[in-house]
Structure 1
């Protein structure tokens, strides 16, 4: 990640505990002197400009610069971004995530599709500092910005990355989190008042629900591509002071990147339009389902995405297929972040109401599932040659009434 933004309130919220100012100044001074050389070796510790610019769930970011009036000696940068990784607690899966993210960052840097990389060291790296700001939730729905995002997503999906091409990440991650959640519950680490917030979710058989979801999505053909898997507004930076011919956007934070189903990445991005993490008051987010992209905005995005991906025009059939992938994988997005929220509510000290966020995502999951099943029933009824028009209308009315009643009960 570079620039002035990391995952905003949002990593999906908050900031890890910062290191003391003297400690980080000493560390930044030694790292910049060792890896950047040139003018950085001529300044004193106290002359170094150090400022914490942002923080997320797992990383600390610092702006480091030469003092005013101090010019570079050779081609070394005058300012950089220092990233300090959070603790991995020795978990191999988390350590591997750090390695993967470094590989991706290096590839983007060398291909001029991301910030330059100035140094990798145990526990972090030095990156190019890009004057930029994270997008707002509202900008995700802006027509012009949305098309630029579609171009950026197509570019990511066309990357060839030297990591496993098997699409195991999504299900492996969900199943691991589900096991962790059950272990915490068995250990009595969740207070009764917190459990009450998602009692309806806890009382459901999530393992069975996950089996249903995997089976349902197995019938949806979605290409496996390199995915970002967290395309929310805080991970998309708008560059400052760029020409009209320059790409204005930079996608950052590849913490969750993996080869995955295209439908998940696109659906997850659309879902982010409904959740605004800039709320400074409890519960520190707003859930606004009405802000989900309209059918027209979805189609416009997908057409631009496909055109950018394929280098030309795309057919209506292709657009329809991708929209179908998005609709189906919206379920996976809600399930993924719903379980993520429960886990973080237990282990995180960040000021963010993970419980209510998880409740919002699970509620959206079951509402969307009901809508999908209702529409599939409708299609079956309309395709049944043995039913008369009157029979069909009666069945549709009964189906709608039944689904509405069921939805009320689950909420």
Structure 2
């Protein structure tokens, strides 16, 4: 039996896509779930390759090839069906920062610049996207300087989009508010639920509680507020699974990188967006110790980002020599890394699954990395 969402994905393709899709039975449409993201339900849907006017028939080369042909004379053979929301984010994705209409407008702009896949058909509660044969680099590869030099200019291009979102987000105030709410929750939290745990959940919980109730994350707020930041159109979820590198076995330019999952986009401080990219990269890379995260890699990134920014921003009078320089952007990113690390901790506490081992470990990892960088960069605080 097909799952409910698999059947929905097939039916959506059958009813909304043109050409051979409309004449297929549900059994002729294959569906593979995409499991890398948690915000939405994603499925790759495929139809047989049409090789003649007599109907859809898969060719031998199509079946034997490692990489299926993506198009035939009738159009897309593979597509991505996206249903907004998930078990984690709720139906419709309650955490998204842009409206559905804004998201479609953003994607239209990005795809016209080759920065994201095309939206083929929007529908209520989701959309059908172009499928792009690509790879996702693991964190330990993405953090290599050669790949950072590819990513940095693409993020600069993203930041250069002249798009104004309907909603504004004051992350400093949100962090303060969430910390107060987290303190209230922790004051009445019953530690006895960890009594039967064989792991170190209680120890982790107490470390998180100390960090929150003593408001250790507030250490950076005064510096954050007093520093001049550049506000740009930010992605705010630049994790490795949202960066699609071209598949090495297909014709491509090395820098044909696409950026997906734009639902958290907002007009925000660029340092926070870039800082979040690095802190999530560090947290996900389990192959390295904190001491192996070198400032020199950030400096390489800053140079590549600014080189691209200078090429683009002159077109809309977007260059400010006071802050569009290496020293200042590096400072923005230092503060952004610290802010991105500490911002999520009270949010984790407020999550219904806060007492799970995974959530506690994530919070403590953020505390440890935050502490490490506060010590390394003590001169800026």
What SS does the corresponding residue of 2:95 show, helix, strand or coil?
helix
CA distance in 1, matches of 2:167, 2:189: 38
Question: What residue in structure 2 maps to residue 82 of structure 1?
Answer: 81
Question: What residue in structure 2 maps to residue 361 of structure 1?
Answer: 366
**8 Å CA contact 2:85, 2:92 repeated in 1:** no
Shift of 1:182: 4.5
CA distance in 2, matches of 1:96, 1:287: 32
Which TM-score applies when normalising by structure 2?
A: 0.78
Cα deviation code 1:39-76 (max 9, x no counterpart): 11111111111111324322221111112442789754
Cα deviation code 1:177-198 (max 9, x no counterpart): 4455446546647734645313
CA distance in 1, matches of 2:281, 2:43: 29
CA distance in 2, matches of 1:287, 1:33: 47
Provide closer, same or farther for how the CA distance between residues 186 and 34 of structure 1 changes in structure 2, counting only shifts above 3 A: farther
* Runs of 4+, deviation exceeding 6 Å: 71-74, 312-317
5+ long unaligned stretches in structure 2: 51-55, 58-70, 196-200
**8 Å CA contact 1:238, 1:250 repeated in 2:** yes
Which TM-score applies when normalising by structure 1?
A: 0.72
1:148 aligns with 2:150: yes
**8 Å CA contact 2:97, 2:266 repeated in 1:** no
Provide closer, same or farther for how the CA distance between residues 175 and 121 of structure 1 changes in structure 2, counting only shifts above 3 A: farther
**8 Å CA contact 1:139, 1:146 repeated in 2:** no
1:33 aligns with 2:34: no
5+ long unaligned stretches in structure 1: 1-19, 278-284, 378-411
Shift of 1:212: 4.3
1:304 aligns with 2:309: no
**8 Å CA contact 1:345, 1:355 repeated in 2:** no
Question: What residue in structure 2 maps to residue 321 of structure 1?
Answer: 328
Provide closer, same or farther for how the CA distance between residues 245 and 102 of structure 1 changes in structure 2, counting only shifts above 3 A: same
CA distance in 2, matches of 1:189, 1:57: 29
- Structure 1 counterpart of 2:238, from 216, 231, 239: 231
CA distance in 2, matches of 1:52, 1:264: 31
**8 Å CA contact 2:243, 2:257 repeated in 1:** yes
Q: How many residue pairs get matched?
A: 346
1:121-132 correspondence runs (5 A): 121-132=123-134
CA distance in 2, matches of 1:104, 1:321: 28
Considering only aligned residues, what root-mean-square deviation do their CA atoms show, in Å?
3.5
Shift of 1:104: 2.6
Provide closer, same or farther for how the CA distance between residues 121 and 169 of structure 1 changes in structure 2, counting only shifts above 3 A: farther
Question: What residue in structure 1 maps to residue 346 of structure 2?
Answer: 339
1:9-408 correspondence runs (5 A): 21-69=2-50, 70=56, 75-87=74-86, 89=90, 94=95, 97=98, 99=100, 100-164=102-166, 166=168, 168-171=169-172, 173-175=174-176, 177-178=178-179, 181-182=182-183, 184-185=185-186, 188=189, 191-192=193-194, 194-204=201-211, 206=213, 208-209=215-216, 211-240=218-247, 241-243=249-251, 245=253, 247-276=255-284, 288-295=289-296, 297-311=297-311, 318-344=325-351, 346=353, 353-373=358-378, 375=379
CA distance in 1, matches of 2:360, 2:40: 22
